[in-house]
Structure 1
Amino acid sequence: MHRAYLILSRVLYAFSSLVLTSISLALIAVAVVDVWEALRTGSSLKPSMLDGIGLVVVALAVFDVGKYLMEEEVLRNRELRSATEARETLTKFLVIIVIAVSLEALVFILGAANGGLRLLIYPSILLATAAAMVAALALYLRLSSSAERRLPRA
């Protein structure tokens, strides 16, 4: 029964990873088509390009999550057995999210630059959130690594 559950888990994680990868590719395709349409119709290219950058950033974040699922849950032949492995895995995952949030904030800043200073509050909040996430991750790494040193060696 345990073996069947492990196989089912791997199949579901692999399927989820492939779905996320497909969605990521579709987002990139939509970005390319939107920019192409702006070029073809002669409409303003800058908004389409900024929207395209935002879509590609989100697509890369979605792809990274799918890649993470495939690497950690499908291809690895073992579960997380130590606090160090859990810390490293969580760190990888959070770094993906922080990078995506930071890049999205930069795209919003570029878009808000033409819309007036009052629009800069939203990307500023997003950047502050990314900075808080980095600080929280640093605190977690500091606390978890010091706790690991106190654990008995196996």
Structure 2
Amino acid sequence: MSLFIRAVFAIAACALMAVAAVLMTYAPYSVITHALAEGTPLHTPLLEVVGYLIVAIALFDVAKYFFEEEVPAGREKRTPSDTRRGLTKFLSTIVIALFLEALVLVFETAREDPAHIVYPALLVAAACATLLALGLFQRLSAATEKEVGPEPEDEVAEGSPQASTKRPLASRDTNG
């Protein structure tokens, strides 16, 4: 079952990268076609391109996260610090994308219809709430790791490739 799950994550990551590549190639194309059309102001397609690129980068980073955290074999026995670092990288990407998209929406809304500025403002508030939640998670998980203590080293023969890997706290031998 583990092989199947890893394969599903690998396929999903490849699909996300393909969508990101299409968005990254479509964005400049849309600016060029809008720039060549007569009477079209250039600022509108440029802001749209920024939105496309933000989404593409976020998708690419999520796919990278899947390849780094979910696809490799032997990652089932993660330490709490590994999980914290992985989740932090993932959520940081999402928060950055939210802030950038909110910024683009603020500019678009301010030009087109300032009465609807509340929606981009709510997106900024959601990004702030996500960032605060990430900070709280970091603080609580780091405090818990300090209470539990450092992670023990594997007792593997010196010189082997596994000598520097760590094992979960639950599998620690209490007799020595």
Q: Give me the TM-score of the superposition, normalised by structure 2.
A: 0.79
Judge conservation of contact 2:102–2:123 (CA < 8 Å) in 1: yes
Pairing partner for 1:147 from 139, 144, 148: 144
Q: Gaps (5+ residues) in structure 1?
A: none
- The Cα of 1:46 is off from its aligned counterpart by 1.1
SS of 2:71's equivalent in the other structure is helix
Pairing partner for 1:17 from 13, 20, 31: 13
Pairing partner for 1:78 from 72, 75, 80: 75
Q: Gaps (5+ residues) in structure 2?
A: 151-168, 170-176
1:38 aligns with 2:34: yes
Find the aligned partners of 2:58 and 2:139 in 1 and give their Cα distance. Answer: 26
SS of 2:31's equivalent in the other structure is helix
Structure-2 residue corresponding to 1:113: 110
Between 135-144 and 108-117, report the one with greater CA deviation: 108-117
- The Cα of 1:80 is off from its aligned counterpart by 4.5
- The Cα of 1:34 is off from its aligned counterpart by 1.1
Number of matched pairs: 150
Aligned residues: CA RMSD: 1.6
Percent of residue pairs identical: 35
Find the aligned partners of 1:56 and 1:28 in 2 and give their Cα distance. Answer: 6
SS of 1:78's equivalent in the other structure is coil
Pairing partner for 1:89 from 63, 86, 89: 86
Find the aligned partners of 1:16 and 1:100 in 2 and give their Cα distance. Answer: 20
Judge conservation of contact 2:6–2:71 (CA < 8 Å) in 1: yes
Judge conservation of contact 2:69–2:75 (CA < 8 Å) in 1: no
Q: Give me the TM-score of the superposition, normalised by structure 1.
A: 0.89
Pairing partner for 2:122 from 113, 118, 125: 125
Per-residue CA deviation, residues 64-117 of structure 1 (Å, 9 max, x unaligned), is 101110111224642352111111111111101100100000101111121243
Judge conservation of contact 1:80–1:86 (CA < 8 Å) in 2: no
* Bigger radius of gyration among the two: 2
- The Cα of 1:120 is off from its aligned counterpart by 1.7
